[in-house]
Amino acid sequence: MLSWIAKRWWVLIAVFIETLSFRSSIGVLRRNSNMYHELAKRLMSMDRSNSRSTRKSITQRERNEALSRPNDVSTSNLDEAQVLLACRAYLIRKHKVEWEGKKVRAEAAASPLFNEGYFWCDPSDLLYLRKNPDPFNLIDNETESKIVMSTNPFSTNPLYPSEEHRRRSNARANLWSNQTWKELWYEKRWKGRKVTEEVRKQKLTKRRIENLPLDLLESPKFLALSEEEVAAAIISYVRAKKRMSEAKKKLKKKRLTEREQFLQWKNALKREAEGIALQMKVSNSTRRDVGQKSIPLSFEPSPDVMKSLKDKRSQKSKRAYEKRSQKSMFNATCPPGHEMTKFRHTFSRDENGSDESIQAILRINNALDSNQIPSIADVETILKPGRLGRRKAILLRILSECYGLKGKCIPGLRNGRVLISGSSEEDMIIGQQISARLAKRVGWPIFVSCSFHGWGGDSGSGEAFCLGLMFRRSWLRLWEKEVARILIREKERMSDRAR
């Protein structure tokens, strides 16, 4: 069959062009009989020299495939239109004929509206954009709620269908159960109207033939095809169709498998969620509810059930009495403050006066915010041993804002430098430096004795003695002098930064 088509393909194409009456361009050729007969004559009486010259372009593999018919190629259902499409595909694949789709895609890509979005430039092109729905389809709208008939036995609405309706329904069901009548009805209703696979393929081939350009039939490349090239084109066309069909079936099967897996996963997840919800519902219910649900309600319970409930209550009372006795015996012999009682949230004040320390921190912050020096009493209050948050941050802020001391090392009062970080008693060292500097600034004879117990480090207690000197000058003179010194220092620092 394949060799016969390859040897007489020019005759087939000429006959196909003769009988092709549905295409407008071919109709123009038929009106001009001289031009059409000349083209048919040219196809029928093609020079063999052209075929010999074009045989060099075909490869050895294609020649072997064309001469020896492969087993996977069936040309029994091949018509003239498919032969013409196979030749066109062969010429496009060999770059002998330009593919118009490439030019159209290039023009579309170069246009300014390419890939700009999903909106149309002119909405009037969309005929269905502002089209009102057909009122005929809205008569029985499924989205509208149906009339719910009342189930009240005293209403006028019938609760059950009438005898006539039931008889007609049974007769219609018996009629549709007859297979012969169903086949006759289907043939009468859908005969020649349902689109089958063969009809769909014929329409697709017809549409492809209509889209073929007329220049292809008159091109010298098309007329110069040899028998071997035609056979190779048919084989490649049939194989490509077969591969495309297998790929579509494989993709469809893959989608069905993925869909089934997704549904299984969704159902499993739903079942798991329902199980978790049920467990949470049971766990949230109280023991009393569970007990009431497990025990059936009855106005006359059996004596055995009542006896079992009484035993449970007595056992519970015995356990409670034994626990109270143990607690009372332990509380009679234990030291005060260690009695066994129920846990209660108690918010007792700290023995060291944590409220007073918090108030001192607030007063120090207010003084620093107002550009004032904090009092020594507040500093001594926060330096008392005990847990207190923000102690170190407040002390470092006093050093930074009042004395301009920052970093890990600060100058000592007499000589050298003092390391204020990296040790286990940072708060103690910083507090000593601040207390001494405040006493020196105020000019009061002050003796500070602080017992730092439990601040990290050793368990013993350390004492820090800071002795301030008494100055004869008044507080105001010292304050003015210190402010002037701070201003001079800030000016020098700003000048150093500018350099």
Q: In the chain, what are the domain boundaries?
A: 2-114+195-254, 354-434
Model confidence band, residue 13 (pLDDT cutoffs 50, 70, 90): low
* Most confident range, picked from 10-19, 101-110, 138-147, 237-246: 237-246
pLDDT (mean) for 47-53: 41
Question: Rounded to whole angstroms, how far apart are CA atoms 233 and 85?
Answer: 9
pLDDT (mean) for 161-168: 92
Per-residue pLDDT tens digits for 268-302? 888 888 888 777 766 655 555 555 555 555 566 77
Question: Rounded to whole angstroms, how far apart are CA atoms 21 and 63?
Answer: 35
Model confidence band, residue 338 (pLDDT cutoffs 50, 70, 90): low
SS (H, E, C) the chain: CHHHHHHCHHHHHHHHHHHCCCCHHHHHHHHCHHHHHHHHHHHHCCCHHHHHHHHHHCCHHHHHHHHCCCCCCCCCCCCHHHHHHHHHHHHHHCCCCCCHHHHHHHHHHHCCCCCCCCCCCCHHHCCCCCCCCCHHHHCCCCCCCCCCCCCCCCCCCCCCCCHHHHHHHHHHHHHHHCHHHHHHHHHHHHCCCCCCHHHHHHHHHHHHHHCCCHHHHHCHHHHCCCHHHHHHHHHHHHHHHHHHHHHHHHHHHHHHHHHHHHHHHHHHHHHHHHHHHHHHHHHHCCHHHHHHHHCCCCCCCCHHHHHHHHHHHHHHHHHHHHHHHHHHHHHHHCCCCCCCCCCCCCCCCCCCCHHHHHHHHHHHHHHHHCCCCCCHHHHHHHCCCCCCCCHHHHHHHHHHHHHCCCCCEEECCCCCEEECCCCCCHHHHHHHHHHHHHHHHHCCCCEEEEEEECCCCCCCEEEEEEECCCCCCCHHHHHHHHHHHHHHHHHHHHHHHHC
Per-residue pLDDT tens digits for 485-497? 777 777 777 777 7
Model confidence band, residue 167 (pLDDT cutoffs 50, 70, 90): very high
Residue 391 CB contacts under 8 Å (≥ 6 apart), including other chains:
361, 382, 383, 427
| Model pLDDT, residue 368 | 85
**Burial classification of residue 361, based on how many CB atoms lie within 10 Å of its CB (0-12 exposed, 13-18 middle, 19 or more buried):** buried
Query: Is a pLDDT exceeding 70 seen at residue 380?
Result: yes
Query: Is a pLDDT exceeding 80 seen at residue 326?
Result: yes
Model confidence band, residue 336 (pLDDT cutoffs 50, 70, 90): low
Per-residue pLDDT tens digits for 472-483? 334 555 666 676
Which of 104-113, 154-163, 193-202, 320-329 shows the lowest mean pLDDT across its residues?
104-113
Which of 57-61, 325-329, 331-335, 357-361 shows the lowest mean pLDDT across its residues?
57-61
